Amino acid sequence: MQEILIQNATTVITMDDAGRVLHDADVLIRGGQIAEVGQGLRTTGQIVSGRGCVVTPGLVNTHHHLYQNLTRAVPGAQDALLFGWLQRLYPIWARFGPEEMFVSAQLGLVELALSGCTLSSDHLYLYPNGARLEDTIHAAREVGLRFHPTRGAMSIGESDGGLPPDSLVEQETAILEDMIRVVDGFHDASEGSMCRVGLAPCSPFSVSRDLMRDAALLARDKGVMLHTHLAENDEDIAYSEAQFGCRPGQYAEELGWTGDDVWHAHCVKLDAQEIDLFARTRTGVAHCPCSNCRLGSGIAPVRTMRDAGVPVGLGVDGSASNDIANLIGEARQAMLLQRVAQGADAMSAYEALEIATRGGADILGRPDCGRLSPGKCADVAVWDVTGVASSGSWDPAALLLAGPTQVKHLFVEGRQIISAGEVTSLDLPRLIERHGQLARAVAEKA
């Protein structure tokens, strides 16, 4: 059984149950798991120097739309609020097909990996021109990241009062049938799984009440998780009150969308009652600070949520609303926004890193990930703190205050995906070239 020893790391931030932070320490990987964390460890296997490095659990991304990185910085959408932004981009996305989904997923997952991410969810809610969820699953296998794709859906088009064009919506019977197909075909519930599938109707303003309820019933029957967007901005709240006669939290509760098998993206506008509801039911939140800034949605009350006991993780969101997908940068932004809202002591660098690792793993139902502890998955990020970004730092472990934004080494299931800052699992220059060709073709048609 192959062993890898990350030896003599300057600091190891374990995120284990005791919250240990070790100095001049080692991490031993064996058979895809963490075998031991401590000092003076030995191996007859591969040795990776940790000198001058901080070692953390791999970061966890709890909300993304990978396909959107083909539409970064689109004119007409750069300065729009959420609904206007969607209306500008829907017709462009309607031209995508299987190759666009596959290539964008590959590039997006590589981008995440370079920023220290080892586990990512994805919310794919449109399937034009023969695209299917497995286009992204196959991409994740080639990149080598642990993957939680969700079978999203939209069923209410413009002709029925919804936002998306009719060409992008599906019949609800067909949606449910395909949800069953992808769960049966690709979901692996075992510990250490590399792929788990969730169900994710896009949002309360793009699917019916019946589909929300039916998806929840199906998810519980299949033992998979539920995900959607909720309470993202003021427009979202106004829509819920006008169409459903209640706030988003109440709507979610009535349809079975609360519980520890549910996580909602954004939740910028949750009020005190909704925060209490999520805390009592252990309903998770995917906090997407850069996207919320980019779209002018507001600052999510993460400090209040955390204090109340709401499980919180981080998400980069889609590239079209964030434009970059750097998860360590997202953690820094989360920390800074809470300080803007509630003062300089509102969130420490360590707490933000905890949200980005253990916090995200927990809301995805993955206690086997997000911490460096014996028996846990060997998903490990190694950060070089000898460079210009960290020079002069008195506390190398405070990565979010003074640290690199790209990993030196990254291991997923004990396999090295990034080595000395370079992707090892695929030909990145060739991928970038093809991705650029597809993006230019989409732009020309638009």
Asked if residue 445 belongs to a domain, the reply is no
Percent over 70 (pLDDT), the chain: 100
Q: Give a yes or no: residue 438 inside a domain.
A: no
Please give the residue that has the higher pLDDT: either 85 or 403: 403
Q: Dig out the tokens for 97 from the structure.
A: 């097909």
| Domain encompassing residue 41 | 3-58+368-423
pLDDT at residue 163 is higher than 90: no
181 shares its domain with 191:
yes
Domain count, the chain: 2
Is pLDDT of 1 > 80? no
Is the pLDDT reported for residue 446 higher than 90? no
pLDDT value at 289 more than 80: yes
> Which residues share a beta bridge with 46?
4
* 243 CA to centre of own chain: 29
Separation of alpha carbons 29 and 156, rounded Å: 48
Single-letter amino acid code for the residue at 10: T
* Residue 347 and residue 297 in one domain: yes
> Is the same domain home to 145 and 214?
yes
Percent of the chain with pLDDT over 90: 93
Distance in angstroms (rounded) separating the CA atoms of residues 435 and 310? 38
Q: Does pTM top 0.95 for this prediction?
A: yes
Is 47 a residue whose pLDDT tops 70?
yes
Q: Which residue type, as a one-letter code, is found at position 352?
A: A
pLDDT of 373 over the 70 cut:
yes
On whether both 179 and 54 belong to a single domain, the answer is: no
In a domain, 182, yes or no: yes
Question: How much is the average pLDDT of 378-385?
Answer: 98
Q: 283 and 136, same structural domain?
A: yes
What would the mean pLDDT of 345-362 be, rounded to a whole number?
98
Q: What is the CA radius of gyration of the chain?
A: 21
C-alpha–C-alpha distance, residues 136 and 127, integer Å: 12
Mean pLDDT, range 25-37, rounded to an integer: 97
* Residues 310 and 277 grouped into a single domain: yes
- Provide mean pLDDT across the span 186-195: 98
How big is the CA angle at 89 (ends 127 and 337), to the nearest 5 degrees? Answer: 105
- Residue 287 counted as domain residue: yes
List, in sequence order, every residue forming a beta bridge with 263; answer none if it has no partner.
Answer: 227, 284
In a domain, 429, yes or no: no
Nearest Cα residue to 325 out of 39, 112, 144, 126: 112
Query: Has residue 433 been placed in a domain?
Result: no
CATH code for the domain of 17 = 2.30.40.10
DSSP per position, 383-435: EE-SSTTTTT-S-TT-TTTS--SS-SEEEETTEEEEETTEE-SS-HHHHHHHH
Residues 225 and 106 in one domain: yes
Residue 446 lies in a domain: no
